Amino acid sequence: MLTQISRNLLQRRLPSIASTQCSKRTYATEAKRHLVNIVEVGPRDGLQNEKGVIPVSVKVELINRLSLAGCQNIETGSFVSPKWVPQMAGTAEVITDIERIPNVHYAVLVPNAKGLENLSTLLAAYNSSELAETTPPPADEISIFTAATDAFTRANLNTSISESLIRLAPVAKSAIDMGLRVRGYVSVAIACPYTGAVSPEKVREVAKELIEMGCYEVSLGDTVGMGTPAQVSTMLEEVKKDIPVEKLAGHVSVIFNKSLPF
């Protein structure tokens, strides 16, 4: 969905320039003017849902174009089990091959210690290469994720919420010790496809734990796109009791219409 915001900004505000030609400065200025910090998750969240496996070279081209278009935060892929998400299997090659631009944050999704270990091996090879003197690292951030219901967490991570948090805490700590930024996700923050309406209190509780383990920001996801603006607002008011709004992000579906400012 955040991909959708960026596309919308490009198409409506910048009609004369195609996304690949949009200058970094123009894009960034537009985002700032609307007080929106965009995290582009298309290469990960979009491509993980594709039926087929997209070739590494195509993913690399997509990410290169996104950074050239001015996206400053890009989630490039996942270090998850390829048995669970085969579409993300080539992430190590993708992040090695992309043209990294200074000041762009490149994040990868990591579900557990094994994912961080795989990323760490790749970063160690980069650090001991000559490339480290001239080129930013393949990733400078990880995204960790859990959900606001046990049923969804079980379907996504094969465990419960509480167990996922126990597993993620040392992952976050190790990543921070490695100098990486850590961002958190809470899925199904409004409604769960298995259990229905989700309590805002539970979202607050899970988000708070992610912040306490060192996430600089937590993204609250209306993962299945069922929420209304009123429901999102109620949930946010609850979460804001524990977390300053500057540390919150939304991963939500928005239907764009003419009444919106962009």
Ligand X SMILES: CC(C)(COP(=O)([O-])OP(=O)([O-])OC[C@H]1O[C@@H](n2cnc3c(N)ncnc32)[C@H](O)[C@@H]1OP(=O)([O-])[O-])[C@@H](O)C(=O)NCCC(=O)NCCSC(=O)C[C@@](C)(O)CC(=O)[O-]
Sequence letter at residue 64: N
Binding site for ligand X (CB under 6 A): 45, 48, 78-81, 83-85, 109, 111-112, 114-115, 118, 145, 156-158, 185, 187, 221, 223, 251
Q: How far is the CB of 133 from ligand X (least distance, A)?
A: 29
User: In terms of C-beta density within 10 A (0-12 exposed, 13-18 middle, 19 or more buried), how is residue 38 classed?
Assistant: buried
Q: How far is the CB of 1 from ligand X (least distance, A)?
A: 9
Q: What are phi and psi of 168, to 5 degrees?
A: -80, -30
Q: CB-wise, 109 or 180, nearer to ligand X? A: 109
Q: CB-wise, 68 or 186, nearer to ligand X? A: 186
Q: What are phi and psi of 224, to 5 degrees?
A: -100, 5
Sequence letter at residue 26: T
Q: How far is the CB of 79 from ligand X (least distance, A)?
A: 5
Q: CB-wise, 27 or 185, nearer to ligand X? A: 185
Q: CB-wise, 8 or 118, nearer to ligand X? A: 118
Q: How far is the CB of 261 from ligand X (least distance, A)?
A: 24
Q: CB-wise, 13 or 106, nearer to ligand X? A: 106
Nearest 5°: the CA angle 48, 54, 56 is: 110
Q: What are phi and psi of 39, to 5 degrees?
A: -110, 115
Where on the phi/psi map is residue 132: left (φ > 0), alpha (ψ -120 to 50), or beta? alpha
Q: How far is the CB of 168 from ligand X (least distance, A)?
A: 10
CB-based closest residue to ligand X: 221
Q: How far is the CB of 247 from ligand X (least distance, A)?
A: 16
Q: CB-wise, 28 or 56, nearer to ligand X? A: 56
Q: Do 218 and 243 meet the contact criterion of CB atoms below 8 Å apart?
A: yes
DSSP letter (8 states) at residue 40: B
User: DSSP secondary structure string, 48-77?
Assistant: GG-SSPPPHHHHHHHHHHHHHTT-SEEEEE
The single residue listed with the structure tokens 């009791």 is 241
- Of 114, 202, 107, 106, whose CA–CA distance to 153 is shortest? 202
Q: How far is the CB of 13 from ligand X (least distance, A)?
A: 25
Q: CB-wise, 85 or 122, nearer to ligand X? A: 85
